[in-house]
Amino acid sequence: MAGMKKKQEGKKGGQQSKKLSKVSDNELAGEGPAARVKKIIKLLRKEYPSAQTALHYRTPFELLIATILAAQCTDERVNKVTPGLFKKYPAVEDFAGARQEELEKEIRSTGFFRNKARNIIALSKKLVEEYGGKVPDSMAELIKLPGVARKTANIVLASAYKKAEGIAVDTHVKRLAGRLGLSQERQPEKIEKDLMAIVPGADWLDFNFLFVEHGRKICQAKKPRCLECVLKELCPSFEKLSAMAAGAGKKER
């Protein structure tokens, strides 16, 4: 019994130490995440001086709709859908009075179109009834809208209002934060909390845009281009990912 308990404790300790080592072994030259993230941001700013959302919009409301459509969909696809969409429904009142079946047809190619259409109509009605047709400029009010969580709210605040109340965590930010050893969490809300603790407040505004740009161009999910990465000397995953990418390259030959 004692031996079994010792074995279980050893296994538990091994799991904990493995998670800890994943962070501590990655602290390059004795630097912690807070110190490294400043260097990471500096390098990414130099690499992507004009980083911004790839979604096309003219008003805060259009950005809100585009961001909702972009869930589980590429920005490129959304940008093909929104010109016709905003021509058919030019104002928030038009979306509020839209028939769900008709709206579904317009946004079908973005995926999850039924839920998106339902939320868009519902939030448009709420904006008309409670906000005078205007998109609120605070996190507290934005997340009251149907279908709007922190990620969407952060993107709207940062791009439309130049306000930062948090850091938008999408698939790119989640992937890069893990690879760069900035967060070992898996849930967006917890990752955001980790990032807000180490990223200087002045950098919250465009942190997401910098990571998205780098995630799309270099630190891709399946084939990261590690040898071309400006962050390779700061990246704890460089050796593992570059070896993986090399192996994938050999298989394709």
Backbone angles phi, psi at 222, to 5 degrees: -95, -35
38 is catalytic: no
Angle at 201 between CA 199 and CA 204, to 5 degrees: 70
Q: Supply 61's token pair.
A: 């409301």
Per residue in 121-143, is it b (16+ CB within 10 Å) or e — as a string?
Answer: bbbbbbbbeeeeeebbeebeebe
Of the candidates 116, 151, 174, 206, the residue annotated as catalytic is 151
Distance CA 61, CA 113 (A): 18
Nearest alpha carbon to residue 156 among 168, 146, 144: 168
CB 189 within 8 A of CB 143: no
94 is catalytic: no
Of the candidates 7, 134, 170, 251, the residue annotated as catalytic is 170
Count of beta carbons in the 10 Å neighbourhood of residue 168: 28
List the catalytic residues. Answer: 151, 170
